């Protein structure tokens, strides 16, 4: 998960644990942070925050409580948890849609993965102007696995990840939908670096996907997929 901090002065105070953030300037979305007077917007990655002695991440306590605007305090965040500070990169929010294409095979559910640029992952892509996020997810899935017949069964979950490109930190929010297809011949979208499309058992797919956020996604949505299959 990511939080966005509207840094008013561009210089942060520090303590022994890290930098001090004013809870009144911390937001769960980039648009709200931009609405505040700011010199720069900082992106806080909760996965990089330490655990408390009880094993609960600080993000699940201090940061959540900080969104209650009745509270005004400073919380300490490790500098490593701020993704775009050294050197500073202005964040850009990107919307995307993706498909979890499933089928029942034998006694279990299988999911379709794509092999893109040396790693297994799920098909997804950026939202185009004028389309809904569901239309985006279906279009990108059809294009990347190379089929024409695809049915959207329903929404599943959302993932957020960030990456640097052209001196900006891009924060991509991907909306995932469960889908099905009667087709069995796939034509990977080679211009997107996709060279293979393959069915995996759910357990094998979780091991195969290269990104932690996708493994966590598969864990979260498994009960929903099982219930609909």
Q: What is the largest CA-CA distance in the chain?
A: 60
Predicted pLDDT of residue 140: 98
Enter the tokens of residue 163. 């990456």
Q: Whole-angstrom Cα distance, residue 43 to residue 33?
A: 10
203 and 185 share one domain: yes
Who wins on pLDDT, 215 or 48? Answer: 215
pLDDT value of position 74: 82
Shared domain check, 130 and 165: yes
Residue whose tokens read 């900006």: 168
pLDDT at 190: 95
pLDDT of residue 62: 61
Select the more confidently predicted residue: 132 or 66.
132
* DSSP at 59: G
Which residue do the tokens 């509207």 mark? Answer: 6
Instruction: Clarify whether residues 8 and 54 are in a common domain.
Output: yes
Mark whether 134 and 61 lie in a shared domain: no
Cα four-point dihedral sign 114, 126, 155, 161:
positive
Please tell me whether residues 204 and 174 are part of one structural domain.
Answer: yes
Listed residues 71, 88, 105: the one ending a domain: 88
Task: Output the pLDDT for position 207.
Answer: 97
Q: Which of 43, 60, 88 is a domain's end point?
A: 88
The band of 24, judged by pLDDT with boundaries at 50, 70 and 90, is: confident
3-state SS assignment for residue 6:
strand
Do 73 and 104 share a domain, yes or no? no
Q: What is the mean pLDDT of the segment spanning 137-156? A: 97
Beta strands at 168-180 and 90-105: parallel, antiparallel or unpaired: parallel
Q: Where are the alpha helices (DSSP H) in the chain?
A: 30-34, 62-66, 133-145, 202-208, 212-228
Q: Would you say residue 219 has pLDDT above 60?
A: yes
What domain range includes position 122? 91-228
Given a cut of 80, whether residue 69 has pLDDT beyond it is no
What are the angstrom distances between the C-alpha of 32 and each of 29, 90, 176?
Answer: 6, 15, 24
Which pLDDT score, from 0 to 100, does residue 106 have? 86
Residues 6+ apart with CB under 8 A from 156: 100, 176, 177, 178, 217, 221, 224, 225
């Amino acid at each position: 998960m990511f939080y966005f901090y509207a840094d008013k002065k561009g210089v942060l105070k520090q303590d022994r644990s890290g930098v001090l953030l004013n809870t009144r300037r911390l937001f769960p979305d980039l648009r709200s942070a931009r609405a505040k007077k700011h010199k720069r917007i900082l992106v806080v990655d909760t996965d990089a925050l330490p655990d408390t002695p009880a094993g609960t991440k600080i993000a699940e306590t201090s940061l959540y409580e900080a969104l209650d605007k009745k509270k005004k305090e400073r919380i300490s965040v490790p500098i490593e948890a701020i993704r775009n500070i050294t050197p500073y990169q202005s964040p850009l929010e990107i919307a995307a849609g993706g498909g979890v294409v499933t089928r029942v095979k034998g006694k279990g559910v299988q999911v379709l993965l794509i092999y893109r640029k040396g790693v297994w992952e799920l098909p997804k892509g950026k939202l185009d102007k004028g389309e809904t996020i569901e239309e985006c997810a279906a279009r990108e899935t059809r294009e990347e696995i190379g089929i024409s017949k695809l049915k959207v069964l329903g929404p599943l979950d959302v993932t957020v990840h960030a990456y640097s490109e052209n001196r900006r930190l891009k924060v991509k929010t991907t909306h995932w939908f469960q889908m099905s297809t009667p087709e069995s011949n796939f034509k990977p979208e080679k211009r997107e670096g996709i060279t293979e499309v393959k069915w995996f058992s759910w357990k094998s797919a979780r091991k195969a996907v290269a990104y932690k956020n996708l493994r966590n996604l598969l864990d979260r949505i498994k009960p929903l997929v099982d219930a609909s299959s």
